[in-house]
Amino acid sequence: MSSKSADETNEKSVKQEKNRNLWILIIVLCICLVLLICSTIFALLNLGKGTIARGVSIKGIDVSNLTVEEAKNKINEAINIELMLGIKLVYGEEYATEFDVNQIQYTYDVSGAVKEAYQIGKGQNIVLNNYMLLTSVFFGKDIELKSTYNEESLNGIMDDIASKIPGLVVQASYYREGDQLMIDKGQPGVEVEKEKLKQSVLENISQRDAMKIIQNSQEETIVIPTKEAQPEKIDIDKIYNEIHTEPKDAYYIAEPFQLFPEEDGVDFAISLEEARQIIGAENVEEYTIPLKIMPASKTTDDIGMEAFPYEVSSFPTKYDASNTNRSGNLKIAADKINGTVLMPGEEFSFNEIVGKRTIEDGYKNAKIYENGQVVDGLAGGICQISSTLYNAVLLANLEITQRRNHSFTTSYVPAGRDATVVYGVQDFKFKNSRKYPIKIGANVANGIVEFKIHGIKEEVEYDIKIIPVTTQVIPYETEYVPDPTLALGQQVVKQAGHTGCKVTSYIEKRVGGAVVSKEVLSNDTYKAMKTIVHIGQ
């Protein structure tokens, strides 16, 4: 074959290839044009629809082809089921608690999510509409359901849980005992990882599925995360700066009334270096630093009750005077509080005023609650003092800053009106939220514990009523314990059980007989105490 024929053949092949490619391009363009026209028509039709596009869901709930109102109803129905489920938290077999989601005001922005879902494929850009519609049809589109909650309320619940689990670390603390400073180095234990717990709670709520809840397959229990913790190292320089004061005499001004209580001067009776050496000693549970006390020349007692002429509130409780150990404990603690003066805004700490409960202070064994049983414990009865004071403080309309209820109901105040204290672990605190100073009077005698709060009458004085309402009764169980010391079949009740309960307490304020406010004071849970029966075998 000549070179000319070969060139002609090659030229013809190239021309045919170009024609074929051109036809392929034309076909592809036609297909694309048809698809564009169809999808455009589809997008335009969707613009006129009053429903949500296919393949769209909100928090995993299909809302395809629903109107805005239909979608809202469907989502609200599901989340109402999800938010009705309580939060259950446990710490081993030793501690369990529960709270309602509405306590942290957890809500979802349903309207915003439905609006976002409805707008899919309904924008001004046709090309973008096509893309969004096609991807939702073929791949699905799930809209996030944004939530909000009251962080302060959630933090409060976390703090409450963190103060109640057993085996908590006891931080180093100190108190003044006459002319000595007693420093307790604390005890190692555990502490709740509150941020982890908070995230677990929020994840539990956000990941709920209404269908799983209906089928009882939703995980409901959260294990409280903890970690081993050591008490913070004692900072003797910081303690010195906190306690070192110069003496100041008490005085008051009549117009306008102002009281300035005395302040004893306090200093270390040894050098700071010597104090550091004492703190550095090993195998010591409590350190003693000698103090030099410089008394003020004039005290509030010298001023007398003329500075506190108005009885703001009083509250009594009864005790068994024949129980001398418990009665003595009550009197020791009450005497430490008696005469305490609080300036406006000043905070009262029960543990700081009463101090550590020790044998050296005269405290004796009396009945306490421990691990679900009534046992003898040092300084038993102290919580009657804190609970009686708590009620006097409530009736004086003072601000409660720290308070927790007992694990079990008490005999001396109704459920919802008690305040437990454990030195180094749980305190009872309040502030003088009145305009003028107050003075606390305490008396333990003849089977009556009574606290009185005195001050200056203000322009508006409220009549306070505390109203505990039982919302649930918790039945108790009976435990049978084999006892070889008893005759066969003989039964002896070692501990009488009683029911537990959940109580919501309200504080009602009245002026001239008219109710001006009624607010929730606290939500408390009391465990049931089991009956323990020994049976002969």
Structural domains in the chain (count): 1
Residue 282 and residue 491: Cα distance in Å, rounded? Answer: 50
pLDDT at residue 510 in the model:
95
Closest by CA to 237, choosing from 183, 275, 293, 292, is 275
Is there a domain that residue 30 lies in?
no
CB within 8 A of 302, min separation 6: which ones? 250
Lowest mean pLDDT among 101-110, 181-190, 250-259: 250-259
Is there a domain that residue 123 lies in?
no
Q: Please, how many CA atoms are within 13 Å of residue 204, restricted to the half-sphere of its CB?
A: 22
Cα angle: 157, vertex 379, 319; to 5 degrees: 90
Is there a domain that residue 194 lies in?
no
pLDDT at residue 219 in the model:
66
What would the mean pLDDT of 338-364 be, rounded to a whole number? 90
Query: Could you list the residue range(s) of the whole structural domain that residue 428 is in?
Result: 308-536
Calculate the CA 258 to chain-centre distance. Answer: 37
pLDDT at residue 45 in the model:
47
**Residue pLDDT, tens place only, 372-383:** 455 556 677 899
CB within 8 A of 101, min separation 6: which ones? 83, 84, 85, 86, 87, 205
Confidence bin at 3 (pLDDT 50/70/90): low
Closest by CA to 170, choosing from 371, 377, 427, 423, is 423
Q: Please, how many CA atoms are within 13 Å of residue 153, restricted to the half-sphere of its CB?
A: 15
Is there a domain that residue 44 lies in?
no
Query: 3-state DSSP call for residue 403?
Result: coil
Residue 57 and residue 66: Cα distance in Å, rounded? Answer: 11
pLDDT at residue 374 in the model:
56
Q: Are strands 221-223 and 87-91 parallel, antiparallel or unpaired?
A: parallel
**Residue pLDDT, tens place only, 194-236:** 999 999 999 999 988 888 888 876 667 899 999 999 988 889 9
Q: Which residue has the tokens 């108190």?
A: 175
Residue 172 and residue 183: Cα distance in Å, rounded? Answer: 7
pLDDT greater at residue 136 or residue 84? 84
Confidence bin at 309 (pLDDT 50/70/90): confident
**Residue pLDDT, tens place only, 121-164:** 776 666 677 677 777 788 888 889 999 999 999 999 999 999 88
Is there a domain that residue 529 lies in?
yes
Residue 318 and residue 174: Cα distance in Å, rounded? Answer: 32
Classify residue 245 by its DSSP letter: B
For 215-253, b where at least 16 C-beta lie within 10 A, e where not — what string? eeebeeeeebebeebebeebebeebbeeeeeeeeebebe
pLDDT at residue 440 in the model:
94
Is there a domain that residue 281 lies in?
no
Residue 177 and residue 180: Cα distance in Å, rounded? Answer: 5
C-beta atoms surrounding 330 within 10 Å: 26
Is there a domain that residue 471 lies in?
yes
Tokens standing for 149?
A: 């909650």
Is there a domain that residue 174 lies in?
no
